[in-house]
A and B are shown apart, each in its own frame.
Chain A
């Protein structure tokens, strides 16, 4: 069973508000991914880290999100100004190392509703 902890489980925000969610990766996992899963089960890769360094991110994340994975603190993903289209399940996953041969362990997600 995965030990990736995501908080909060549910988040409700108004349009234009900031929305921040956190992720504690499995102990010893330096690789962290964030994905967005919408109500149609469409997944969108958002960003990934190795240790504290951003390795890849999409344009949307770069422009509208603030994300970090500081050492000895939870990783976080924050939408600077929430939009209705941001309503989705945000999934954090961690891995022991970079590469497809390493299993990604997912948290249960943070479900964001933007009213």
Chain B
């Protein structure tokens, strides 16, 4: 069965600093990989997704993620965070066999001024 681990429940970063949010997955085959962001009182929004090709995938608002098959990881990065990036970030995987998202437990991103 697939599973997703986000080891950091909370990450605090200074505004303007770089960011990495970690995600590791467990799956017998490479799944579709997603990063979603959840702002307070708003719906989950897709930042980016990956299935194949270039392991570095670009997303919205300057986010990117890098897939590593050897490490079973899909870490999210941003070069310079803004206060508006404060939110909860979820990593998720999905298989074509059932098209249901398996979610990580989320990482709350706190931006220090």
Q: Which of B20-28, B62-70, B73-81, B100-108 contacts A (4 or more CB under 8 A)?
A: B100-108
Residue of B nearest to A58 (CB): B100
**Using a Cβ cutoff of 8 Å, how many contacts connect chains A and B?**
53
SS class, residues of chain A in contact with chain B:
loop
Residue of A nearest to B100 (CB): A45
* CA distance in complex: A97, B63 (Å): 26
* B residues lining the A interface (CB < 8 Å): 32, 36, 41-46, 49, 51, 88, 90, 94-96, 98-101, 103, 105-106
Decide yes or no: A108 and B41 within 8 Å by CB, A43-B101, A103-B46 being known contacts: yes
A100 touches B96 (CB 8 A): yes
Identify B42's interface contact among A33, A48, A103, A108, CB under 8 A.
Answer: A108
Identify B96's interface contact among A33, A99, A105, CB under 8 A.
Answer: A99
Residues of B within 8 A of A2 (CB): 43, 45
A105 touches B99 (CB 8 A): no
SS class, residues of chain B in contact with chain A:
loop
Q: Which of A11-19, A34-42, A67-75, A77-85 contacts B (4 or more CB under 8 A)?
A: A34-42
25 A-B interface contacts by CB (under 8 A): A1-B45, A2-B43, A2-B45, A41-B90, A41-B103, A41-B106, A43-B90, A43-B103, A45-B101, A48-B99, A91-B43, A98-B99, A99-B96, A99-B99, A100-B49, A100-B94, A100-B96, A100-B99, A101-B51, A103-B46, A105-B46, A106-B36, A106-B44, A107-B43, A109-B43
Q: How many Å from the CB of B98 to the closest CB on chain A?
A: 7
Encoded as 1 (CB less than 8 Å from any B CB) or 0, chain A from 92 to 115 comes to 010000111101111111000000
* CA distance in complex: A82, B102 (Å): 25
Residue of A nearest to B42 (CB): A108
* CA distance in complex: A100, B27 (Å): 16
A106 touches B45 (CB 8 A): yes
B43 touches A104 (CB 8 A): no
